[in-house]
Amino acid sequence: MIHHSDTTVKPIIGNKDIEIHEEATYNKSCLPFDALTAEEFSLIIDKPESEEVLSTIYQAIVNKSSLTYVINILSYFETIITQANVAN
């Protein structure tokens, strides 16, 4: 038996069965700067200090060629951009 809903295209975005996200993990001791938590960063997002933090992260990524080093920094960055106002 076939139901008419079996032949329609279904969106995959938002499907909890296939969108399983792993928590980003990073080694805090390998970061070349002091790591802020997402909450701490969201408190300074509208202040000039946030630009300094983002600039430091960017410089750390650009100046190193080790892939594991860059992935560690990007994993940290992923943890601080979890809130909508920070991500924007």
Q: Give the three-state DSSP class for 81.
A: coil
C-beta of residue 18 within 8 angstroms of C-beta of residue 6: no
- Is there a contact between 30 and 72 (Cβ–Cβ < 8 Å)? yes
pLDDT digits over 67-84, tens only?
999 999 999 999 998 887
Please report the pLDDT score of residue 59 as a whole number.
93
pLDDT at residue 15 greater than cutoff 80: no
- For the full predicted model, state whether its pTM sits above 0.85: no
Q: Please report, for residues 13, 27, 46, 61, 75, the alpha-carbon distance to residue 71 in angstroms, rounded to integers and kept in the order given.
A: 26, 10, 27, 9, 6
Residue of 48, 54, 59, 43 whose CA lies nearest to 77? 54
21-68 residue pLDDT tens = 677 789 999 999 999 999 999 999 889 999 999 999 999 999 877 899
pLDDT value at residue 22: 75
Domain regions of the chain by residue span:
23-87
